[in-house]
Structure 1
Amino acid sequence: MNKKILLSLLLVAGCWLGASAQQVAVKTNLLYWATTTPNVGVEFALSKHSTLSMTANYNPWTLGSDNRIQHWFLRPEYRYWVTEKYTRLYFGVHAIGGKCEVGGFRLPFIGDRIMRGLATNYYKGSFVGGGLSIGYQFYVSPHWNLELSAGAGLVRLNYHTEPIDGSQASASARRTKVLPIPTELGVSFVYLFNSRK
Structure 2
Amino acid sequence: MTIRRIICTLCAILLTAGIAVTAQKQGESRVLTFRFAAASDRFYDGYLDNHNQIAAMIECVNTHKDAILAGDVPVAVFGYCDSCGSTEANLTTARTRSNRVKSEMITRCGLTEQCFRTTNHSDGGNYVEVRITLPTSEAVPLPMPEPSRPVVTAEPEPESMPVTLPADTADRRPVVNAQVAHRPHIDLRANLLRWATLTPDLGIEWHIAERFSILAHGSWTSWSWNDKDRRYALWEVLPEGRLYLGKNNRGYIGAYGHYGDFNYKFTDTGRQGTVKGGGIKGGYVFRLNKALSLDLSIGIGGLNVDYDKYYLYDGTRVRLEHDNKNYWGVTHAGVTLVWNIF
Root-mean-square deviation (Å): 2.2
Task: Assess, with a 3 A threshold, how the Cα gap between structure 1 residues 184 and 88 changes in structure 2: closer, same or farther.
Answer: same
The secondary structure found in structure 1 opposite 2:288 is: strand
Q: Is the 2:191–2:201 contact (alpha carbons within 8 Å) kept by the matching residues of 1?
A: yes
Aligned counterpart, 1:83 = 246
Q: Report 1 or 2 for greater relative contact order, CA contacts < 8 Å, sequence distance ≥ 6.
A: 1
Aligned counterpart, 2:334 = 186
In structure 1, give the amino acid aligned to 2:265.
G
Quick one: distance in 2 between partners of 1:40 and 1:51? 17
Quick one: distance in 2 between partners of 1:30 and 1:155? 22
Matched, 1:30 2:192: yes
Q: Is the 1:162–1:171 contact (alpha carbons within 8 Å) kept by the matching residues of 2?
A: yes
Aligned counterpart, 1:54 = 216
Deviation at 1:169, TM superposition (A): 8.3
In structure 1, give the amino acid aligned to 2:186.
V
Quick one: distance in 2 between partners of 1:91 and 1:22? 19
Deviation at 1:46, TM superposition (A): 2.5
In structure 1, give the amino acid aligned to 2:240.
E
String of CA shifts for 1:110-135, please: whole Å, max 9, x gaps.
xxxxxxxxx33111011111011111
Q: Name stretches of at least 5 consecutive residues in structure 2 with no aligned partner.
A: 1-182
- Counterpart selection for 1:100 from 258, 262, 279: 262
Identity %: 25
- Counterpart selection for 1:70 from 233, 240, 255: 233
String of CA shifts for 1:48-73, please: whole Å, max 9, x gaps.
11111000000111255544321100
Number of residue pairs matched?
159
Aligned counterpart, 1:133 = 281
Quick one: distance in 2 between partners of 1:42 and 1:122? 33
Runs of 4+ in 1 over 4 A off after TM superposition: 164-170
Quick one: distance in 1 between partners of 2:263 and 2:236? 12
The secondary structure found in structure 2 opposite 1:60 is: strand
Matched, 1:154 2:313: no
**Greater percentage in strand:** 1
Aligned counterpart, 1:163 = 311
In structure 2, give the amino acid aligned to 1:161.
K
Aligned counterpart, 2:271 = 123
Deviation at 1:151, TM superposition (A): 1.3
In structure 1, give the amino acid aligned to 2:294.
L
Calculate the TM-score normalised by the size of structure 2: 0.43
Deviation at 1:180, TM superposition (A): 2.6
Q: Is the 2:184–2:209 contact (alpha carbons within 8 Å) kept by the matching residues of 1?
A: no
Calculate the TM-score normalised by the size of structure 1: 0.72
Quick one: distance in 1 between partners of 2:321 and 2:250? 47
The secondary structure found in structure 1 opposite 2:193 is: helix
Q: Is the 2:271–2:310 contact (alpha carbons within 8 Å) kept by the matching residues of 1?
A: yes
Quick one: distance in 2 between partners of 1:134 and 1:172? 40
The secondary structure found in structure 1 opposite 2:320 is: coil
In structure 1, give the amino acid aligned to 2:208.
L
Quick one: distance in 1 between partners of 2:244 and 2:317? 53
Matched, 1:42 2:204: yes
Quick one: distance in 2 between partners of 1:182 and 1:42? 23
Quick one: distance in 2 between partners of 1:99 and 1:182? 19
Quick one: distance in 1 between partners of 2:226 and 2:329? 26
**Greater percentage in helix:** 2
The secondary structure found in structure 2 opposite 1:44 is: strand
String of CA shifts for 1:117-161, please: whole Å, max 9, x gaps.
xx3311101111101111110111222111111112211111101
